[in-house]
Every structure is written in C-alpha cells, then in structure tokens.
Structure 1
Amino acid sequence: MTLERPIAPDPYELLPTVPSFTLASDDVQNGEPMDAAYAHPAAGGDNVSPQLAWSDFPAETKGFVVTCFDPDAPTGSGFWHWVLVNLPAGVTQLPRGASGADLAGAFTVRNDYGEQGYGGAAPPPGDRPHRYVFAVHALDVEHLDVTPDATPAYVGFNLTFHTLARAVIRPTYQAKE
C-alpha cells in the first residue's frame, strides 16, 4: 500500500538560487533507482556511500561540503543521511565507501540515524520511491565554523551563507514490501 501524502519540495528550491556545476557518479544516477548496496542495513543494504566526482565549480571555491537528504521521509522535516563537512578545495571526488573516515581533515556530523558517517536509504516498506538528494556545495570559506557535534540543520544554515555553487544528483530508492 502506498502512503498518500503530498510530494515534498526539493530542499534546494526553497533556498537562495546559486549557480550549478557538474556532479557525476559511477554508482548512482539522477532519477534512477539506487542499488541496495547504498541502502541502510535496516532496509537490507550494505550502507556503502556511492562514488561521487565533481568539476566545473567556481575558481574561487575554498572548500566543499557533501550532503545526502531524503525530502520524502515521512517526518515533516525530511531525513539527513550524510553531512560531510570541510573537504579541501583540492578534493574533487570521493571513492565508493568513503563515508567520511579520514578524508583530508573533513568530518561527518551525526546523521538522522544518530550515527557518524553515511547512512543509506531506508524508506518505509510500501511507500513510494524516495528521492535521495546528493549535493556537493562549493564554499567561499575553507572551513565552516561547525564541529562534529553540530546538527545537519545547523550545518545547512551555515551552508546557506557560504555556498558559491551547488551540484546535485537525485537517485531514488524504494523498499521492497
């Protein structure tokens, strides 16, 4: 049974408009279903973060933040799956399974599972496919002034004031019934 509720807006449609750049992945594609490898163990997945690579960002970029957000989660506020903060400007890709462990001084904040690192897709069984918004934010600062104890919402608030450009891929995932 599919839950009947409105489609949530894309989170970046609600924020100030910024230029875009290129984000590609060998593992996930825009609008296409993700493999179970990128799902949370609660949904029978391997909880592996996908490979991501980006280019054509503004020359004045000083750092990056990588996020994954599910706007379709039945919470009223979406669900943060991954917030990787303070990647240096020289890092332009993440290998599959990177999650946030020892990436050139970058760190992850707690996701909405309450865990550090990547937390894979796990929509409720029977729900329609959920969108997983993987975004790379090019920053006008080397580091956001946040700590690993910050909430994803607080990181997002700080991103609003420091994002020069943003690149996004929106794969989907639907739990088996």
Structure 2
Amino acid sequence: MRLWSDSFTEGGVLPAECAFACVDPARRMRLAANRNPHLAWDDVPAATHSLALFCRDVDAPVSTEHINQPGQHVPANLPRVDFYHWILVDIPPELHAVGEGRFSELVTPHGKGGPLVPFMVKNGIEHQLRQGLNDYTTWLAGDPDMAGEYYGYDGPCPPWNDERPHAYVFTLYALDTSRFPLEGRFTGAQARQALRGHILDEAQTFCVYSLNPQVVAGL
C-alpha cells in the first residue's frame, strides 16, 4: 500500500493550519485552524474488509516537569512516548482519500463528539465511520476551560520549549474485518492493541512540527 498527503511533503513540516496551536511571538503560541490534513492511498489488498487510520506524535516527552515553563527547556535527549492525535476506523476499502478539514476544523473546547462520525458518501453508498479518543482527553483533563472527551483529529501542540522537533506518523492499516474489533469508547493505545491478528498490510507517511522558534528556524 501507499499513503501520502497533499497537505505536506513526506518528512517535511506540517502546515500550521493543520495544527492545534501555532507560534505566536507575543504569547509563544496560540490556537490554530486545527484542520485534519489531506490523506490519500492506493494499492489496498483485494481481501481488505476495512481500513483504520492512526496519527501519533512519536516524540512526546515522557516527563512533563519542564513543559512550557519559562526559563526551562525540554532536552532533546529526554525519553519519548507516543501521543495519539487521531484514530479513524471502519473506513470502507473503496474510499481512497480524506479531504483536508473533512474531520476537523478549529479547536473545539471540551472536545469533538464521538465515536460515530457523519456518513461518508462514496458512489451513492453511505458508510458510518467511528473515531477513538485522542490523547488530549487526558492531557487537558486538569484544565476546566478545555477538559472533555476529545474524539477524532486534533493536531500538534508540542511544548514551545522542546529542543526536539516532533515527528507525526500517519499509519493506514488494511484489515480483515469489516468492523473494528472494539466497541464504545476506546483510546489510541487500546486500538493499536486491537489491531493484532487483523492486519493485511500497512502504509505510513510522516511530517514534523515544532512551536520552538529556534527549532522552527532549522526545519
């Protein structure tokens, strides 16, 4: 399989309009347009019953001690973990692309609803897709102005004092089941676990993003 985007060049910088936050010289960062990027794919195996799409930040700091603290830095060599930004499942195999902004437009305080998302129409056929909870659900749980269940896509918002650019990996899985093997509320980590034994093929593409002006200058 192949996976690509018209919103970014593979390995290049994600546009700010596809991010949760962007650089602001006066306030360090501000909320951005938060549009999901365009993605397209082909060469899907003939035996595919459905597709599943994941986006994860593979450079999220394992420690939050110095994140976004004036006078502090998140060192580049700090251990990192995954942070899930999008889980979209039950994608019909006859669908070959999702448009930029189709699933997310602007930041929604307290999170977008889910897990069901509006019907996707392809050749006159309606399909019900589902989305998992992204990791802003736990990250923003302590903020009364933003806390909630964050379904679907919410873009990058790496620490503005992180010395490392963050890589965002989009992975598309071809599955042998027409309905993803989880029901109700599920997270990215739970969904990755549920994939086991159902993957026929997979494809990846990635981009990078930073809110640290010094890092941005070098990208």
Q: What are the within-5 Å matches in structure 2 for residues 147-162 of structure 1?
A: 147-162=183-198
Calculate the TM-score normalised by the size of structure 2. 0.67
Identity of aligned residues (%): 33
Q: What are the within-5 Å matches in structure 2 for residues 9-158 of structure 1?
A: 21-41=1-21, 44-75=31-62, 76-99=80-103, 101-102=117-118, 103=120, 104-114=127-137, 115-127=150-162, 128-158=164-194
Amino acid at match of 1:124: P
1:175 matched residue in structure 2: 211
CA distance change for structure 1 residues 38 and 133 in 2, over 3 Å: closer, same or farther? Answer: same
Residues matched between the structures, number: 157
1:6 matched residue in structure 2: none
Give the deviation of 1:74 after TM superposition: 0.7
Q: Deviations over 1:94-129 (max 9, x none)?
A: 111122731321111110011011010111113221
Whole-angstrom distance in 1 between the partners of 2:2 and 2:210? 26
Whole-angstrom distance in 1 between the partners of 2:50 and 2:156? 26
Q: Which 4+ runs in 1 deviate beyond 4 A?
A: none
Higher strand share goes to which structure? 2
Whole-angstrom distance in 2 between the partners of 1:43 and 1:121? 12
CA distance change for structure 1 residues 148 and 120 in 2, over 3 Å: closer, same or farther? Answer: farther
Whole-angstrom distance in 1 between the partners of 2:184 and 2:18? 23
Give the deviation of 1:85 after TM superposition: 1.1
Calculate the TM-score normalised by the size of structure 1. 0.83
Q: Which ranges in structure 2 are unaligned for 5 or more consecutive residues?
A: 22-28, 63-79, 105-116, 121-126, 138-149, 214-219
Give the deviation of 1:70 after TM superposition: 0.6
Amino acid at match of 1:111: N
Root-mean-square deviation (Å): 1.6
CA contact (8 A) 2:44 2:93 kept: no
The SS at the match of 1:157 is helix
Q: Deviations over 1:63-91 (max 9, x none)?
A: 00011001100135310000001111111
Q: Which ranges in structure 1 are unaligned for 5 or more consecutive residues?
A: 1-20
1:164 matched residue in structure 2: 200
Amino acid at match of 2:57: D
